[in-house]
Amino acid sequence: MGIVARLHQEVLVATSRTPSPDPLRSMRGKRGALKSWAQTPDRTARTRNARASSPTSPDYWLARQDPEKFAGATDEQRWAAAEAAVRMYMAELNEKAIIAKRAKAAERAAARAHAQVAS
């Protein structure tokens, strides 16, 4: 299976619809989250760890750099490599989005063709 087909399959699995949860349970969860945020004076501090451990953060990639490969690198070189890794990650996400959009468009076209044949 090629990389495009594998990514296409991953997107289809990740975006498959699941039954919606109980509306009351969902509303209670939303209310709890809103209450928590209403009691948070410093939102930036609250989300700092999550942002730093996200693949969209250069810090995430700095922590994952190969120590042998970057042994002689300066801090600026390591940071530039981490920023390039962020851009690479975003390009991968963009590629997956394109594949998903094409799959959805093909699904809609097939449904339209099926509807025309059926009528």
Q: What is the pLDDT of residues 70-97, one digit of tens each?
A: 999 999 999 999 999 999 999 999 999 9
Q: At what angle do helices 3-14 and 75-118 cross, to 10 degrees?
A: 70
pLDDT confidence of residue 119 = 76
Instruction: Give the whole-number percent of the chain exceeding pLDDT 90.
Output: 72
pLDDT confidence of residue 43 = 93
Calculate mean pLDDT across residues 39-46: 95
What are the residue boundaries of the structural domains of the chain, listed by start?
24-118
- C-beta separation of 70 from 77 below 8 A: yes
pTM above 0.75, yes or no: no
* pLDDT at residue 114 is higher than 60: yes
